[in-house]
Structure 1
Amino acid sequence: MVIETVTTDGGMIENRTYDEIQVGDTASVTRTLREQDIQLFALVSGDVNPAHLDAAYAATDMFQRVIAHGMWGGGLISAVLGTELPGPGAIYLSQSLRFIRPVGLGDTITTSVTVAEKRPHHNLLFDCHCVNQNGEEVIAGQAEVKAPTEKIRRPRIALPDVHLRDHDGYRKLMERTRGQPPIPSAVAHPCSAAAIRAAVDAAEAGLIVPILVGPAARIRKAAQEADRDISGFRLVDAAHSHDAAAKAVALIRAGEATLLMKGSLHTDELMGAVVPSATGLRTERRISHAYVMDVPDYPTPLIITDAAINIAPTLEEKADIIRNAIDLAHVIGIETPKVAILSAVETVNPGMQSTLDAAALCKMADRAQITGGSLDGPLAFDNAISEAAAKEKGIDSPVAGRAEILVVPNLEAGNMLAKQLTFLGGADAAGVVLGARVPIILTSRADSLRTRLASCAVAVLLARAATKAAPGLPQVAAA
């Protein structure tokens, strides 16, 4: 008898008892290996060997690849025995397998079990085979199972809809920074363990060469608390946090660093040293903050601006905020970014200043006062990022439903939106300050290692782009 299935949910599930089973009876299941299957296997087993998870790495080691993806194939054998033949009530006793060929992403595997022998005590011996889409055997072996003696028939339980949060954008971002020397970076007042870890981890990732600016004794104590070695980094002594910010900015004005990184001082202390026209790092542009967010299931990076610097920006300030964000989008590989100017509604309302600003900004883009991107607004958040929502509202534009830059009406809206995506949506967020002479990295004690490195990576890409545009800025070899 042959039993075949291509699904694992819906309908009824019924076992076959020892007395019903005959030698030669067979059952099979067919499945295709997906990236999610490998990730779920790693999550359940704790096996994070890169040879098992990274297809490029695994391709260089065929033996490891056989082991990694063969384990998935072996799991299919268990599934057939437990759900098809004998089915519910079966007890797995032993299994021997030979991994013959590699199983790769996209391979479709048909797993079959055939009763080879009926043994005493309700035991069954099965021949087990896994064959790929080309008819090649990839796994073979035998399994011994104790068959059920009582009939079981019940509704088949539907499998849960599992979604893994995939942060492929983070990997791509880090890849873009590789292959070039790290950037000399002035780290202002790194006097906490978190600030030291942020700087040293970025250095170990090959992103920056930190210049630690602050009270020397406190910095060394913080390094001890963080269990990080800072002996290879330059240390510039400063009396206190305000002095550290001023000296870090001075290093950049002197051409000794091309990035500024926030340590354990307050953001307003750092920006207080940045904004003075005579001694700071201002340009003709309004300084603004942007988050580059890697949101699970969203097809592109999402830039949210401004969420940290400009509290209630004017129309003129919003224009610079957009220009800064467009420049950032170009650097991370978005050629013509789609810019959605957000409000609570998608129609112009004279009683809502954000809608008036949005309409004016779009007209400024029409008149080439803002270039490099495609603008639309006002747009509510849903019809900015959801094509279905935009269609429902009858909005037809190249931006609606496909936004890559979200321009918020004020800092409160931007800050709440970014943190909601991070803490409820599982997004990675890299924060950077734009519009100054150099990119400014703002990290927080609550930031994960991924967030800290991503923020540094974005700033490094901006600094390298500026160096290409204006050769002569300092670059150093790895320490």
Structure 2
Amino acid sequence: MTLSNRLFDEIAVGDTAATKRVVAPDDLYVFAHVSGNLNPLNLPHAPGEDAEGQNVAPSMWIGSLFSSVLGNLLPGPGTVYEAQSLRFHARAEVGDELAVKVEVIERRAPRTIVLATRIERAGTLIADGVAEVRAPEERRVVADVALPGLTVSRHRNMARMLDACAGLDAMPTAVVAPEEENALLGALAGGRERLIVPILIGDEAKIREIAKAHGADLSGVAIENVESHDKAAARAVELVGLGQARAVMKGHLHSDELLRHVVKSQGGLRTSRRVSHVFVMDAPTLPNLLLVTDAAINIAPTLEEKVDIVQNAIDLGRALGLAKPKVGVLSAVELVNPKIQSTLDAAALSKMSERGQITGGVVDGPLAMDNAISISAARTKGLTSLVAGRADILVAPNLESGNILAKELTYAAQAEGAGLVLGARAPVMLTSRADDEGSRLFSCAVAVLYAHWLQTGESAVAATEGKTP
């Protein structure tokens, strides 16, 4: 895009310029951030949400559209605003196409241009006024104008999961070693949102000290004073066995310290199925949740272990509202190569799914990362599959690749993630010690929904078929 300007002597009364702009939801979010105006009337609402009167574009955002015509077209680059009057006659909403027009009505030496300004929607006057600008002093041609793109970070799917928990009972949860800010505040946030009933197990003095430092209220919260992380983990598992807790949440301790007690043969939470971990990722750039497994427990799983890993993830996907989760088994390539073990495992898992050895979902592989989540990449490579380009679940070849993938989604794609251990007698929220309150709250919601599905066989989330082309 190339812009050029007009000097004072080149502008005459009656000269006009115009442009068009469609009101987009992201415009409303960006304006709210820039202006600080958080009026809910001017923020988009979710489809189906009862929000009569919302989606109205802020009037001052509408007024700012004149700036694009004056700064880009008439007089163009180098123009300086001096004054602007505005009167608003109607409201514009998301989806409206607005015609922005200016007309020169006066010239004042040495360089002031007065313009009538007008915005219409299909002939209806939205706003008008008068602008006074100082025309450029020198010729300017600005070539290849390109702004960096903006991504409005919204975690709609996380909000959907939290909303789905509204009608479910809060779940008594043993929180192991909440002896750090994020660990404690995340657990307490889960309690405030009535997702869990936290039972804090750890060094009581540290827990109270952290709560005091951050103004957190511990009234009514059960605290069990336990002197070590090992004993705290053992006690949490014991509470589940006694029926006093229905879930376990990791606090500020190493994962292996907790999992050692979850998987122990006597008094643990083992079932006949292999224990595995799933990251539930909500990335702003993806339309639906993306589940990544296994990125935290099984280091180099065998084919037999991958069967349980896949089945665990499918079960969780169904609990989160996916009617028939689409599972992409990842490798470096999408063709079976006898020299790459992960492609052989992927092919076997796909066939096992076809034969009913893995149930509840559709499994396909091997798939490379691009053609697992990008329909255009899958089409380019000629892949015909129910899963390619539409995967809801990504099965990593090993822990290293799964962990790297999950953290790339978190830190490079601004995904919010929940972490859950599956295959045990109760859900175990296994988050990173660096995870913030939001991530821990998300994990609480996922755990509650999974526990509900285990108990009833039904999802509390409205079922979807996964991604669409």
Deviation at 1:296, TM superposition (A): 3.6
Partners of 1:58 and 1:113 lie apart in 2 by: 38
Please name the residue that 2:75 is paired with.
Answer: 86
8 A contact 1:19–1:149 mirrored in 2: no
Please say if 1:96 is aligned against 2:96. no
Q: Which residue of 1 aligns with 2:13?
A: 23
Q: Report SS of the residue matched to 2:344.
A: helix
Q: Indicate the SS of the match to 1:213.
A: strand
| 1:14 and 2:14 matched | no
1:126 to 105, 115, 135: 115
Match of 1:465 in 2: 453
Question: Does the CA-based 8 Å contact 1:193-1:225 persist in structure 2?
Answer: no
Between 113-122 and 70-79, report the one with greater CA deviation. Answer: 113-122
Contact 1:307 1:412 in 2 (8 A): yes
Question: Which 5+ residue runs of structure 1 have no aligned equivalent?
Answer: 1-9, 471-479
Question: Which residue of structure 2 lines up, in the alignment, with residue 7 of structure 1?
Answer: none
How far did 1:371 drift?
A: 0.8
Partners of 1:125 and 1:356 lie apart in 2 by: 73
**TM superposition shift of 1:154:** 4.8
Q: Distance in 2 between matches of 1:170 and 1:369?
A: 31
Alignment of 1:287-326 (within 5 A): 287-326=275-314
Q: CA deviation at 1:232?
A: 2.1
What's 1:448 paired with? 436
- Give distance in 2, aligned partners of 1:149 and 1:301: 54
Paired residue secondary structure (2:59): helix
Is the 1:346–1:379 Cα contact (8 Å) retained in structure 2? yes
Aligned to 1:37: 27
Identify which of 396, 401, 415 aligns with 1:413.
Answer: 401
- Partner Cα separation in structure 2 for residue 243 and residue 158 of structure 1: 58
Q: Is the 8 A contact 1:293 1:429 kept in 2?
A: yes
- Mapped to 2, the partners of 1:345 and 1:148 lie a distance apart of 57
Map of 2:421 onto structure 1? 433
Asked if 2 retains the 8 angstrom alpha-carbon contact of 1:212 and 1:236, the reply is yes
Q: Report how far residue 391 of structure 1 moved.
A: 3.3
Q: Is the 8 A contact 1:50 1:58 kept in 2?
A: no
CA contact (8 A) 1:52 1:58 kept: no
* 1:86 Cα offset (Å): 2.2
After TM superposition, the score normalised by the length of structure 1 is 0.88
What SS class does the counterpart of residue 19 from structure 1 fall into?
Answer: helix
Match of 1:275?
A: 263
- The reply to whether residue 54 of structure 1 matches residue 34 of structure 2 is no
| Structure 1 residues 81 and 345: alpha-carbon distance in aligned structure 2, compared to 1, 3 A threshold | closer
CA contact (8 A) 2:3 2:73 kept: no
The answer to whether the 8 Å contact 1:304/1:414 transfers is yes
Change (3 A) 1:215 1:150: closer
1:252 corresponds to 2:224 = no
Give the letter aligned to residue 274 of structure 1.
V
Whether the aligned pair in 1 keeps the contact of 2:5 and 2:74 (CA below 8 Å) is no
User: C-alpha root-mean-square deviation of aligned residues, in Å?
Assistant: 2.4
Shift of 1:106: 0.5
Cα separation, 2, equivalents of 1:346 and 1:82: 50
- Contact conserved, 1:194 with 1:226, CA < 8 A, in 2? no
1:71 counterpart SS class? helix
Residue 236 (structure 1) shift? 2.1
Alignment of 1:209-248 (within 5 A): 209-248=197-236
Give distance in 2, aligned partners of 1:341 and 1:182: 34
Worse-superposed segment, 31-40 or 19-28: 19-28
Structure 1 residues 102-111 or 461-470, which shifts more?
461-470
Residues in 2 aligned to 1:249 and 1:49: alpha-carbon distance in whole angstroms: 46
Aligned pair partner of 2:173 in 185, 189, 192: 185
Match of 1:398 in 2: 386
Task: Tell me how many residue pairs correspond in the alignment.
Answer: 456
SS in 2 for 1:139: strand
Q: 1:402 to 1:209 in 2, by over 3 A?
A: same
Query: Residue 282 of structure 1: SS of its match in structure 2?
Result: coil
User: Could you say which residue in structure 2 is the equivalent of 1:337?
Assistant: 325
Q: For the residues of structure 1 that align with 2:260 and 2:419, how far apart are their CA atoms?
A: 19
Residue 93 of structure 2 aligns to a residue whose secondary structure is coil
* Identity percentage of aligned residues: 49
